[in-house]
Amino acid sequence: MVPRRRNTAKPPPLECPLDECMKLLRGSWTVQIIWYLRGGVRRFGELRYDMPKISAKTLSARLQRLERDGIVTRAVKPTSPPTVEYEITALGARLLPAIEGIVEVGHAIKKLRASQGRSARG
């Protein structure tokens, strides 16, 4: 029987910051919304155009949650009909390097899988 090694890592704090951040990013489309808002202010319809497969109901729910969590601001402009604009907050912008890092790793994974597929067929 192999002896069990002791865990030398300290346990995470009760309210783990990693868990809090991952809760914030949960759900389909959340990261994509943040990604598209990194380019500047977007209206609801523009975000729908950016992500044609998202339903209006899902986009609305994700934007409401991101606003509640302080990642996005919502501004209603006094036009007829009213225009609603969304913008990433300073806190939301702090997520961008992590998201960009995930994108880079995703590209590397796709490249690796593509090369493995070629070598398996070769």
Which CATH number goes with the domain that contains 85? 1.10.10.10
Residue 45 counted as domain residue: yes
Domain presence at residue 10? no
Q: Where in the chain does DSSP place strands (E)? A: 42-43, 72-77, 83-88
Residue at 40 is within a domain? yes
C-alpha to C-alpha distances, 73 to 42, 55, 69, 78, nearest whole angstrom: 11, 20, 10, 16
pLDDT at 5 over 90: no
* Tally of domains in the chain: 1
> Which among 88, 63, 114, 83 is positioned nearest to 55, based on CA atoms?
63
Query: Is residue 4 included in any domain, yes or no?
Result: no
Answer whether residue 37 is part of any domain. Answer: yes
Termini Cα distance of the chain: 43
114 lies in some domain: no
User: What CA–CA distance (Å, rounded) separates 14 from 43?
Assistant: 38
Residue 9 lies in a domain: no
Asked whether residue 11 carries a pLDDT value surpassing 80, the answer given is: no
User: For 30-62, how does the pLDDT look when each residue is reduced to its tens digit (9 = 90+)?
Assistant: 999 999 999 999 999 999 999 999 999 999 999
d(CA 92, CA 86): 12
Establish if 63 belongs to a structural domain: yes
Domain housing 86: 17-93
What's the pTM value of the predicted model, to 2 decimals?
Answer: 0.78
